Amino acid sequence: MFLRFTSVSVLSLAVAMGALAEERAFNPAISLILDGRFSAFDNETDYELPGFMLGGEAGRGEEGFHLGHNELAISANVDDMFYGKLTAAIADHEGETEVELEEAFIETLALGNGLTVKAGRFFSGIGYLNQHHTHAWDFADAPLIYRGLFGEQLIDDGLQIRWVAPTEIYLQLGGELMRGERFPAGGAGNDGKGASSLFAKIGGDVGESHAWQFGLSHWQADVEGRQSGGHDHGGGAAEIPTFSGDSEVNGIDFVWKWAPNGNATERNFKLQGEYFVRDEEGDVVMEDGSATPESTTYDGEQKGWYLQGIYQFMPRWRVGLRYDRLDSDNRGSDEDVLAEAGLDNEGHTPERVTLMGDYSHSEFSRLRLQYARDDSYEDSDDILTLQFIMSLGPHGAHRF
Amino acid sequence: MKYGLHIGLLLLGSFVSQSAFAVLNIFACEPEWASLAEILGGDRVKVVSATTAHQDPHRIEARPSLIAKVRRADLLVCSGAELEIGWLPMLQRQAGNRRVLPGQTGYFEAAAQVERLGIPEKVDRSQGDVHASGNPHVHLDPHRLLGIASALSDRLAILDKPNADHYRSRLDDFSRRWEEALQRWEDQALPLKGMRMVVHHQDWVYLFDWLGMVNAGSLEPKPGLPASAGHLASLRKTLQDAPASAIIYTHYQNPKAAKRLSQLTGIPAVELPYTVGGADEVVDLFTLFDVTLKRLLEVVT
């Protein structure tokens, strides 16, 4: 319960514990993100990422005019102990409007001692970009390594505990126990506690003009029947590559931001990079509905990194450059089956160079033009994307 | 094993925070509140300011270093009225420090202690980035500032009861010196009454209200939007009919727009300190008003 003060005069001052921020703001806060795009591809081939079993929302998106990641988010402090948030992503898939529950979580506010517990469905705390909503990304699409490993972003249902150390330097430690049903886990193994993670972040300032953060992440899952889009070679019954076994991801991430005297309004620069490596061991079965589907043992490693720089050279205008690179080494008892499952890297090293320019009329609206030279697979593609991202309603603070 | 490590870290945490409790750790969102907290707390407080006079308090990133500072704070002293809405709530949610959450004794909003000006009748983004709770730049009225000082002193006494007398006597000393200075400033500022000023952003509402000065227009077409050539041209027209004495801006705002309009109109552009640290001579709240008045008076005389 907040005390309310509408006009406490200077003469009759009381000790006002009230918080104006809450006084007039809508409760709950409802915010809407509008995201529309136009894309042009040079290449009509179906998208693939050799060496990676794609899942989740992985792909290069649609061609022509289409809707991007429209989100409706409702959030509020439930009481003095809990904060709650629900984010629904509304997207069109092949003419059908689908509502996906992207986030639905509660978070403690007042445990104190640096401890916070989050429960429900949320973006995993691993990596740097993973916890940022799509609309806060500096490019229209995810880095290739996020596409390859997480199906764009790692979201799961479960419990997260994190702790901030009471030290000069910022140090956060966190862990998660999750259901493990969604890609890149699958099957909700271990009685619905199939995935877990650990992460640590450390960060600080250097002088007034520089801020940095460095992170380490670990994620693992008991995967039971993770299905991937795989390859549709046309004709015949569709075979769905299905993986069961152990999966483990380790990663490092860093971000460095510069703004003259710490004033980012005029000019600022942001350099960010992440590296992830995934090790998997188990079996891949090509489910085709028959009693004896093809299968192979599978022992694989997929890794990759990206590095990107974003420069705001004057108010409203930013330019960015990103480089992506992936690599994989997958082995199994039957190379042909591995290849059908998309796990043969075909001797190709996926890479991509992306250029971006955007204009923000205010902090609530952004127009973006992006060009990518995409060598995800053997046929090079030139991808041009025009995008708008607009934010309506009270829009909360962004993370670092 | 994991639990053992965790408990160990917790113990370490409580040890560190207790040893730091010898003095009150104060996290001030802006330099003016850092300065006020230092004056009122003396050697009983350790104050850090989240921002400097070079930074726009509307636009601060929820940096890791700030999360670490909020984590260790016993008291946050901020302007409030949504000035920090783009970053402070994120710091509070990330830091896991319940002492400094809204509604707690460890969260002090200066704007909540006084009557605010510029409460909009309509909150609509087409009007720019307006603050629903009114204009948050309350420290530029020295009368309001005195009221805020008294409320902040009370808060320090609640948080650190054994030293309540210490805070009371420091407040008395500050109030006496402030009232003397206030008398001097008001005498000095008589020629400023009725002066028309072009502002960069609506930072000066309380200063104008105190001195009886008049806002002749803003360089920002809407609050939070950068000045455009078209807007400057229309401002120039307005100023031909109703001239202004000066165009004022502050350190963290790009001086280009103010200087351009100055060239177009011949009206002098004046940089005001806005907060502590906003000019070399501005080392505390007293010199903030000394320098502000000096620079304004140079324009009219």
In a domain, A38, yes or no: yes
Of A7, A8, A170, the CB nearest to B65: A170
**Domain contains A12:** no
> Which one has a higher pLDDT value, A90 or B169?
B169
- Optimal mutation site among B55, B168, B249, interface A, most CBs of chain A within 10 A: B55
pLDDT at A28 over 90: no
Gap between the Cα atoms of A173 and A161, Å rounded: 8
Tell me if A344 is assigned to some domain.
Answer: yes
- CATH number for the domain spanning A165: value is 2.40.160.10
pLDDT band of residue A199 (cuts 50, 70, 90) is very high
Please report which confidence band the pLDDT of residue A237 belongs to, taking 50, 70 and 90 as the band edges.
Answer: low
State residue A11's pLDDT score.
Answer: 32
Predicted confidence (pLDDT) at residue A24 exceeds the cutoff of 50: no
At A170, is the pLDDT very low, low, confident or very high (cuts 50, 70, 90)? Answer: very high
The per-residue pLDDT for B124 is 67
Task: Name the band, by pLDDT with cuts 50, 70 and 90, for residue A235.
Answer: very low
Neighbour tally for B296: CB within 10 Å = 24
- What structural domains and CATH numbers belong to chain B? 9-183 (3.40.50.1980), 189-300 (3.40.50.1980)
Residue B275 forms contact with A (CB below 8 Å): no
Check CB contact of B111 with chain A, cutoff 8 Å.
Answer: yes
- pLDDT for res A20: 52
pLDDT at A127: 97
Report whether pLDDT(A22) > 60: no
pLDDT of residue A86 exceeding 60: yes
| Cβ distance of B16 and A167 shorter than 8 Å | yes
Average confidence (pLDDT) over A233-258: 86
pLDDT, residue A55, reads 84
Could you report the per-residue pLDDT of A176-193, keeping only the tens digit for each? 999 999 999 988 888 999
Instruction: Please tell me which residue of chain B has the smallest CA distance to A170.
Output: B68
Q: What is the DSSP string of chain B?
A: -HHHHHHHHHHHHHHHHHHGGGSEEEEESSHHHHHHHHHHHGGGEEEEES--TTS-TTS--B-HHHHHHHHH-SEEEE--TTTTTTTHHHHHHHH--GGGSTTSTTEEEGGGGS--S---S---GGG-S--TT----GGGSHHHHHHHHHHHHHHHHHHTGGGHHHHHHHHHHHHHHHHHHHHHHHHHTGGGTT-EEEESSTT-HHHHHHHT-EEEEESSSSTTSPP-HHHHHHHHHHHHHS--SEEEEETTS-THHHHHHHHHH-PPEEEE--STTSSTT--SHHHHHHHHHHHHHHHH-
pLDDT at A13: 33
CB B55 within 8 A of CB B70: no
pLDDT reported for residue A140: 96
Number of domains in chain A: 1
- Examine residue A398 and state whether it is found in any structural domain, yes or no: no
pLDDT given for residue A225 in this prediction: 92
Answer whether residue A6 is part of any domain.
no
Q: Between A332 and A8, where is the model more confident?
A: A332
B300 touches chain A (CB under 8 A): no
User: Does any domain span residue A400?
Assistant: no
Phi, psi (deg, nearest 5) at residue A65: -75, 135
Tokens 């830091």 map to which residue? B95
Of chain A, the percentage scoring pLDDT greater than 90 comes to: 70
Residue of A146, A175, A161 whose CA lies nearest to A350:
A146
Domain residues for A276? Answer: 20-392
Tell me whether residue A385 is in a domain. Answer: yes
Q: How far apart are CA A243 and CA A223, in angstroms?
A: 7
> Tell me, what's the pLDDT at B20?
43
Please report whether residue A7 resides in a domain. Answer: no
Question: Mean pLDDT for each 10-residue chunk of chain B (301 residues)?
Answer: 51 46 89 98 96 92 96 97 92 95 95 90 66 89 97 97 96 98 96 93 92 92 83 90 92 89 92 95 97 93 70
Residue B291 C-alpha, separation from nearest chain A C-alpha, in angstroms: 22
